[in-house]
Structure 1
Amino acid sequence: MKNRIMLAALLLSSLPALADGNAQAGAQKAASCQGCHGAEGKAAVALYPNLAGQNAGYLEHALHAYKQGDRSNGQAEVMKAFVAGLSDEDMADLAAYYAGLKP
């Protein structure tokens, strides 16, 4: 049982490393995100979520949902405009970048 818990903890702790995207490329692509989400993924205004340290799969899924119009929170239209020109690779790269930042 102890070995299973240790294995699960190890797998969960390495989630950012398992992201499909390229974090270095994501860092280059994150310039337009910084106005709301901060230079290090930590928003200066409570209206915007912190992205640093979030699960890469969740971030990538959220970006796709915004692009497809499947999210309807207060910032959905703003986010939809920002992600409209992003490719699947761009979204994976951004997700990997933000997942790898210290929360």
Structure 2
Amino acid sequence: MRSLHGAALFAAFGLGASAALAQGAGDSAGTPPEPVQTCRVCHGIDGVGTNPMIPNIGGQSAEYLSKQLQDFRAARREDPQMTIIAQDLTDEDIKALSDWYASITATYTLPE
């Protein structure tokens, strides 16, 4: 089994992402927080990128995901979409998204 590290995190957020994130990090029945519905456009609800250029983020540590979003927000890391998206995220927003995607168990099948 191997882990894949992504270069970017959550693309395709709408302008209302921060307000939606404030609703919480999902529920105990496995329902994702509202903004994951937007993130899934590129990263999938399970954190698997929808094309080879989109990183797989499901199963990454919450600390890693949080750090990347904080770096995009502070412009210490740049990406045409993510830098803009992260500007409006609060610390609570970043925690909710990081916790959701970190809670996914990622498995990979190696070629034979």
> TM-score, normalized by length of structure 2?
0.64
Contact 1:52–1:99 (Cα < 8 Å) also in 2: yes
**1:65 is the counterpart of 2:71:** yes
Aligned length: 79
> 1-side partners of 2:65 and 2:77: how far apart?
13
| Runs of 5+ consecutive residues of structure 2 not aligned to the other structure | 1-23, 107-112
Contact 1:59/1:95 (CA < 8 Å) preserved in 2? yes
Corresponding letter in the other structure for 1:88:
D
Q: Among 36, 48, 54, which residue is 2:54 paired with?
A: 48
Point out the structure with the larger helix share. Answer: 1
Flag the structure with larger Rg.
Answer: 1
2:98 to 71, 95, 100: 95
Cα RMSD (Å) of the superposition? 1.7
Unaligned runs of 5+ in 1: 1-21
The structure with higher relative contact order (CA 8 Å, sep 6+) is 1
**Which amino acid counterpart does residue 81 of structure 2 have in structure 1?**
V
Question: How far apart, CA to CA, are the structure 2 residues paired with 1:52 and 1:89?
Answer: 19
- When structure 1 is superposed on structure 2, of 87-96 and 27-36 the one drifting more is 27-36
TM-score (norm 1): 0.69
Identity of aligned residues (%): 29
What code does the residue aligned with 1:55 have? S
